[in-house]
Amino acid sequence: MANNYFKFKQFIVQQDLAAMKVGTDGVLIGAWASADKACNILDIGTGTGLIALMMAQKNAEAKIDAIEIDEKACEQAKINFIGSPWSQRLNIIESSLQAFKSNYKYDLIISNPPYFNNSLKNDCKQRQTARHTDSLTFSDLLEGVHRLLNKEGRFCVVLPTDEKENFVEIAQAHNLFLNKLLDMYPTPTKPSKRVLMEFSFQQKELEEEGMILEEFGRHLYSDKFKQLTGDFYLGFKSKPEDA
């Protein structure tokens, strides 16, 4: 059974109410996405509020809105926001993306969205909503991003690698173009399982790289992964030992 909380270097995520607990996908996209020069940030499907909290830590000036359709998850995120050092800059809104309206557009939109399509559903309705695309299809997500993103803004997302081509195609139909990509490999001998992508309204030369999660054995993480997540995970450093 997952712990009722997860402790990071600068904040704690309570997770007893949320269907989806703290996981590697959320930490990865929160650590990888650049929050530089973003005054207004939107986290779509915030769950426990993890990614919004990471954005608040990374950017000391940004105002972060977080939307979540599930009532219990909203309650959880609110608890975590209030308990953080950045409560004044974090705002939780209970809403679907389709119904969400904002008086301003966002410099950065970030999401760890539902991604299971036509797969066996869990008996827990909360987990179904969080994990399956029934309530938020890729088209719905990208239409929302197109509507809410500044013309110079960026959109970052984490997905299973086998959904990449489909997602990129739908994104292009919404005039969003893939600019940056990180392939995540579980081990040196296994194929990529997750892909982190950054989109914008500008067509640019693609920046592409790969990263191994567990390079030396079970729970023996690669130096690149530890450096990427070192500002957040206890016991990891954000710079190499000899830096």
Residue 109 lies in a domain: yes
User: Distance between CA 104 and CA 91 in Å, rounded?
Assistant: 14
pLDDT tens string 23-81: 999 999 999 999 999 999 999 999 999 999 999 999 999 999 999 999 999 999 999 99
pLDDT (0 to 100) of residue 18: 84
Number of folded domains that form the chain:
1
Q: How wide is the angle at C-alpha 189 spanned by C-alphas 186 and 191, nearest 5°?
A: 60
pTM of full prediction above 0.95: no
CATH number, domain of 168, equals 3.40.50.150
Residue 52 lies in a domain: yes
pLDDT (0 to 100) of residue 118: 52
Residue 15 lies in a domain: no
With 0-12 / 13-18 / 19 or more C-beta atoms within 10 angstroms meaning exposed / middle / buried, residue 163 is middle
